[in-house]
A and B are shown apart, each in its own frame.
Chain A
Amino acid sequence: MIFQVLRWWYGTGWLQAIHRITSWPLGVERHFSFSLLLRTLFAPWRRIVSGGGRSLDAKVRDALDNFVSRCVGFVVRFFVLVAALLGMLTSFVLGLLAAAIWPLLPLFILYCVIRGILG
């Protein structure tokens, strides 16, 4: 069984661990719909827009309203994008760590056993 575990550990298992380096950040990207947020970063919040004003005063008021709507949209999306970026980065680093630690774990066990015996 030990041989089977080791064969898998340094074969398919390690490849799967490497694959997770990309799949985890992609999952985070999908969870936050990162690309959509980026595309609509400056869009009005929930498409709340004013329009139809004919007088100069009304047009200025519409423009101001729309500016506020875009600002709200920008702020919300910006912070979510930051959170998404952090999440992607964290998952990438964790994945990288996992892939790097993966081949070392059996060696670490061996090291601990030897240290345990030798004291």
Chain B
Amino acid sequence: MTEELNLASTRAQKARLARTVGAGGELLSVSIVAILIAGGIYCLFFGELERVGYFALAGAGIAAMFAAWYHYDLTKIPPSTPAQRLDDIIDPKLLARLKQPVTPRSAWRTALQNPEGQFVSNHLLLDWKFLEPDVSDNEQDMAAVWHQAVALMQTNGGTTLHAGTLAMAIITTTPAAEAFLTHNKLRKEEAVEVLAWCERTLGYLHQPKSNFGGIGRDWASGFTPTLEHFGENISRGIEMGGGYARFWAHDDLLDGVVSSLGRGNAVALVGADGTGKSTLVDGLAQRLLEGKAPELKYYQIVSLNASQILSYSGSQLEKLMLTLFGEAVTAGNIIVFLDDAQLFFSSGVGAFDMSQILLPILKNHNVKIVAAFTPVDWQQLQAARPALANSFAGITVTEPSEAASFKVIEDAALLMEHRNRVLITYEAIREAYRLSGQYMQERSYPGKAIDLLEQALPYATNQALTAETIQAAVEKTKGVKVSAAQAPEAEMLLHLEDRIHDRMINQKRAVGVVASALRRGRAGVSSPKRPVGSFLFLGPTGVGKTELARSLAAVYFGDEHQMIRLDMSEYQRAEDVARLLAAGGQNDRSLLLAIRQQPFSVVLLDEIEKAHPNILNLLLQMLDEGQLTDEQGRPASFRSAIIIATSNAGAVDITQRVKSGNGLDDFERPLIDKLIAEGQFRPELVNRFDEVVLFRPLTEDELSLVAQVMLKGVNATLATQQITVQLTPEALKQIVHQGYDPEFGARPMRRIIQKTVENAIAVKILRGEAQPGATITLDVADLTAE
């Protein structure tokens, strides 16, 4: 085929004529036929205008021929085979609009007048008016565009070159468009995916209408009033919607499901949430409705409503279940679908064990049942009720490949667009895929990405979902920060050390490494598959290890309480692992429950060396992969958290080194080696931290600053009474002296301030010596008076 375009060809002429006539023209022709026939017959038989009658009938014949030609030929101009030139394969709607001379710019304008072109440009969020001046207006440049368009058409397995293909060819051959894509963080190859999406959608629109059986179909089966009441007829839903046009990710599994059901076996679909078990059942329902499975032709799938059924209990529940399955047996065309099937088999449901009813039914193959289980629920059923589990033919529904997941998500996005009158851009879909992978680990693709798109719908701006919309939705619903840091946050991040030092004295290196980690995380430079930062703080008691974690939580995460603190001395036994990994509900001290509720936080593991080795093994996974798996097999993410572990190990060595006048700059490695050699830490744990930071004992001057910071805290409390307190240098010196303990560092300081300063102020307030607006200066005498 040559890449020539002949707009004077027969096909091009027919395309233009079809466009000119349009549906209105056809209707007009049919009306003319009716009027002329009626008029002609009247003239011939009732009037005396025989000649007019013949002319009228001739006119009716001509109009009828034209209407038939339009309807059966002009509206369905197929590609010419074998194709000789471009006009043989160009979609008639596009061909009708093309005018000589065709330049990339005129072609761009024409392409965007067609729905396929709009599909491509809208989903790429391309501002066509903005781009138009940058598209070449040189006829010579069109050769490259046509060449690219044909290549794209062939890559997508198409036989027609439509406006979407042409638009994409122009986008991929115009440097300015490429720059626009780069600005939207899209690569050329990713943009081309939108064309594949467009092609697939066109395929759905052109596929023949499904035939779901006729009038007498259901007369061969029985009535199912109770099933109708306590279930949802999935097949009827599909039938009323005219059938699904979508990509079926697990189409290959349907053969196995049909075959098992056909043999009379019940089927257990085993797959994680979001893999598409329910969608697979939709696909099954459609296949049966279309009569594609002869052994199960026209079977109806009814999904039982667990919550409605399980609101009954005891003998009522037993009776209801017997009625439901009895109806399914009698009807003879029912497949019962138990979504979240574990609800029906969990012990403690109602007042009796439902498996007592289901087991004989399953054994006798009386009713066809499809049940959906998560892998954990399926394992539990196999362990608890092997006979029941063995009655099912297990079919594993795995997470589809990335490419297949994208197709499913794209199809779902089109439905969402239709239902919610929004535009879901391709970058939004990509962002939903990426962020759901990062923050919805407890679910699987494609379901979790679709859920995220749905969650983002309320945040749509200008009726469009973009990558920013998805980020906003994740930030709101997950409590994490994923969008690029903007002022004032960016400004705060750049000066994070200063802000922390407002609350924290010295320990510059520790503050520096933590601030840097946070900056890397928020700038998107650090690995998204690990925690934002992980640090091991070593040093004596009372030098600020915990205070740094608390300051970070307060300064950056917004609240001191945005910190998950675990005292690892409470996890010294092997069985404490279960407590740490509890899925929640029954254990309010579960680390995983806490991180799920507060994923964007500081995780402080105090006195880590005291934890049981099994717990330390778990921490390896947390530090390495940024996630832990709970006792039910569901992962919890630590990828938005900063992990800080503290330990007093090596405190003596640090103190001695500082006292001997040496700095700590090069002391980290020798100290770590020593601690590993002594068996206090395992090398695999220490090496997994991003940084090991040594905290040195505070000097007297620093202790004085600590006291002043604490005094600021007292003043902040007194601010509501408009009272300010200050200390004389002697008083400050005394507090520093009393507040320092060689063993506990500055830890007693807070207690001393409370005992002295706060007590002294309280007395003065009660005595009426401190009025609003007053500044109270406390001397040594005031502090010792109490």
- On A, residues with C-beta under 8 Å from B are 1, 4-5, 8-9, 12-13, 16, 29-34, 36-37, 40, 43, 45-48, 73, 76-77, 80, 105-106, 108-109, 112-113, 115-117, 119
Given the known interface contacts A33-B215, A33-B216, the answer about A8 and B222 at a Cβ–Cβ threshold of 8 Å is no
Given the known interface contacts A112-B54, A112-B57, A119-B51, the answer about A105 and B64 at a Cβ–Cβ threshold of 8 Å is yes
10 closest Cβ pairs, A-B complex? A33-B214, A112-B58, A116-B54, A47-B222, A109-B61, A37-B216, A116-B55, A115-B54, A33-B216, A112-B54
* B387 CB within 8 Å of chain A: no
Given the known interface contacts A47-B332, A112-B55, A116-B51, the answer about A33 and B213 at a Cβ–Cβ threshold of 8 Å is yes
Q: A32-B215, A47-B220, A112-B54 are in contact. List 19 more A-B contacts (CB 8 A).
A: A4-B14, A9-B65, A9-B69, A13-B73, A16-B72, A31-B215, A33-B213, A33-B214, A46-B219, A46-B221, A47-B221, A47-B222, A47-B332, A48-B222, A105-B64, A109-B58, A112-B55, A112-B61, A113-B54
Residues of chain A within 8 A (CB-CB) of B298 are 36
Task: Indicate if the CB atoms of A116 and B58 lie closer than 8 Å.
Answer: yes
Complexed CA–CA distance, A45 and B218 (Å): 10
B1-18 Cβ-contact flags toward A at 8 Å (1 or 0) = 000000000100010010
Given the known interface contacts A4-B10, A12-B73, the answer about A36 and B213 at a Cβ–Cβ threshold of 8 Å is yes
Task: Indicate if the CB atoms of A30 and B214 lie closer than 8 Å.
Answer: yes
Interface of B, secondary structure class, is helix
Interface size, B (range): 20 to 34
Query: Distance in Å from the Cβ of A72 to the closest Cβ of chain B?
Result: 10
Residues of chain A within 8 A (CB-CB) of B62 are 109
Query: Distance in Å from the Cβ of B528 to the closest Cβ of chain A?
Result: 54
* B138 CB within 8 Å of chain A: no
Complexed CA–CA distance, A77 and B219 (Å): 9
- Which of chain B's residues 38-94 have a Cβ closer than 8 Å to chain A? 50-52, 54-55, 57-58, 61-62, 64-66, 68-69, 72-73
Task: Indicate if the CB atoms of B58 and A5 lie closer than 8 Å.
Answer: no
Task: Indicate if the CB atoms of B61 and A105 lie closer than 8 Å.
Answer: yes
Task: Indicate if the CB atoms of B214 and A46 lie closer than 8 Å.
Answer: no
* B331 CB within 8 Å of chain A: yes
Residues of chain A within 8 A (CB-CB) of B66 are 5
Task: Indicate if the CB atoms of A40 and B219 lie closer than 8 Å.
Answer: yes
**Residue on B nearest A114 in the bound complex, by CB:** B54
**Residue on A nearest B221 in the bound complex, by CB:** A47
* B347 CB within 8 Å of chain A: no
- On B, residues with C-beta under 8 Å from A are 10, 14, 17, 50-52, 54-55, 57-58, 61-62, 64-66, 68-69, 72-73, 211, 213-217, 219-223, 298, 330-332
Complexed CA–CA distance, A43 and B221 (Å): 10
**Residue on A nearest B331 in the bound complex, by CB:** A47
Task: Indicate if the CB atoms of B68 and A43 lie closer than 8 Å.
Answer: no
Listed by A's residue number, 23 A-B pairs whose Cβ atoms lie within 8 Å are A4-B10, A8-B73, A9-B65, A9-B69, A12-B73, A13-B73, A16-B72, A30-B211, A31-B214, A31-B215, A32-B214, A33-B214, A33-B217, A40-B219, A47-B220, A77-B219, A108-B61, A109-B58, A112-B58, A112-B61, A115-B54, A116-B51, A116-B54
Task: Indicate if the CB atoms of B55 and A113 lie closer than 8 Å.
Answer: yes
Query: Distance in Å from the Cβ of A111 to the closest Cβ of chain B?
Result: 8
Residues of chain A within 8 A (CB-CB) of B211 are 30
Task: Indicate if the CB atoms of B68 and A13 lie closer than 8 Å.
Answer: yes
Complexed CA–CA distance, A31 and B216 (Å): 9
Residues of chain A within 8 A (CB-CB) of B55 are 112-113, 116
**Residue on A nearest B218 in the bound complex, by CB:** A46
Residues of chain B within 8 A (CB-CB) of A45 are 219
Residues of chain B within 8 A (CB-CB) of A32 are 214-216
Complexed CA–CA distance, A112 and B348 (Å): 86
Query: Distance in Å from the Cβ of A38 to the closest Cβ of chain B?
Result: 9
Residues of chain A within 8 A (CB-CB) of B330 are 47
Task: Indicate if the CB atoms of A13 and B219 lie closer than 8 Å.
Answer: no
Query: Distance in Å from the Cβ of B8 to the closest Cβ of chain A?
Result: 14
Task: Indicate if the CB atoms of A73 and B219 lie closer than 8 Å.
Answer: yes
Given the known interface contacts A112-B61, A113-B58, the answer about A46 and B73 at a Cβ–Cβ threshold of 8 Å is no
Query: Distance in Å from the Cβ of B40 to the closest Cβ of chain A?
Result: 8
Given the known interface contacts A40-B220, A113-B54, the answer about A80 and B69 at a Cβ–Cβ threshold of 8 Å is no
